Amino acid sequence: MDFELTDDQQAVLDGVDAILARFAGPARAAELAAKGGYDDALEAALGEAGYAEIALGDGTGALEAALVAERVARAAGGVAFAASGLVAPLVAGRALPGPVALAEADEEGPIRFAPAARTLLVRDGDVARWAPLGPGDVELVPSNFGYPVGRVRASARRGVESLGAGSGRRLLAWWRVALGAEALGAMDAALRFTVGYLRQREQFGRPLGSFQGVQHRLASCAVAIEGSRWLVYEAAAQGAPDEAAACAASYALAAAGRVHRETHQLSGAIGYTTEHDLHVWSMRLQALRLELGGPGAQLRALATERWGAPPAGDRR
């Protein structure tokens, strides 16, 4: 057992932080989000520094990839790193042409990062398939949840090349870990940003952050975020066992809802505006909660994995 970053892990994160300081952050995220854009410059910088291969690297693996995915989300980076750099390589055993978007074969709704994706990785029951995406396959859908989203043609959603028996299950587990890592990064940033605001915002003659009624709610969010952190790290480090992955996603997506609610409530009206940075994380948190059938589906999956609860009537 060891709950601290190794020197190598710290070096990985220092490197990614340096890139994110140049090519990410709330201002850039808001600008990209307004036009449904993808951050090609950030993608290129991460690629040049070798982060695209980190999940299958020499001396690095899933945990390091999850740590990077968390960092990217914390900086509101406009790239699909969690899908391209964490999920796809660990399911396929090799990097797929990025950016990668993740989809479920029978889900007709808009898909995160689809407008920019070169590859669609699809869960179709027990197998995962992938397919190259062409320009005609995706229809951009206006959205203000902070990600470029698009509807993918039914024919393209089936995928082309199967990754073999059991790959659907692997995709599900890694997707859950990735959702947890992304939620963790965004929650952490949303809470820290809100805490900073409430330290200086004065009402009733003192900082709002000095009221105990406010402090306790923020402290409860901190517990939920730190709990998410270790569940996500453990699940990633252990290779996404089905139960641990479902547990991490269950807890982190519940925490994401709570952090969204509390940070907005405590920020007041300014929190709804685009001039205040909270939205770049808070809206993404809600988008993450919509994937894979949402928080309830992760919980039911956890009950199935833990106690063999019958997944009756549950298509996921």
Task: Tell me which residues touch other proteins (CB under 8 A).
Answer: 1-6, 9, 63, 191, 195, 198-199, 206-207, 209-212, 214-216, 218-220, 222-224, 226-228, 230-231, 233-234, 237-238, 246-247, 250-251, 254, 296, 298-304, 306-307, 309-310, 312-314
Shortest gap between Cβ of 153 and other proteins (angstroms)? Answer: 32
Shortest gap between Cβ of 204 and other proteins (angstroms)? Answer: 10
In angstroms, the CA 62 to CA 238 distance is 9
Place of tokens 């919509």: 290
The enclosing H or E element of 100 equals: strand 100-104
36/293 with CB nearer other proteins: 293
Shortest gap between Cβ of 297 and other proteins (angstroms)? Answer: 9
Question: Which pairs from 196-204 meet CB under 8 Å and 24+ separation?
Answer: 197/267, 197/276, 197/278, 198/266, 198/267
The enclosing H or E element of 194 equals: helix 167-200
97/296 with CB nearer other proteins: 296
135/313 with CB nearer other proteins: 313
In angstroms, the CA 283 to CA 147 distance is 9
Shortest gap between Cβ of 296 and other proteins (angstroms)? Answer: 6
CA-nearest of 192, 186, 194 to 267 is: 194
155/212 with CB nearer other proteins: 212
Shortest gap between Cβ of 268 and other proteins (angstroms)? Answer: 17
8-state DSSP, 232 = H
167/194 with CB nearer other proteins: 194
Contact 162, 114 (CB under 8 A): no
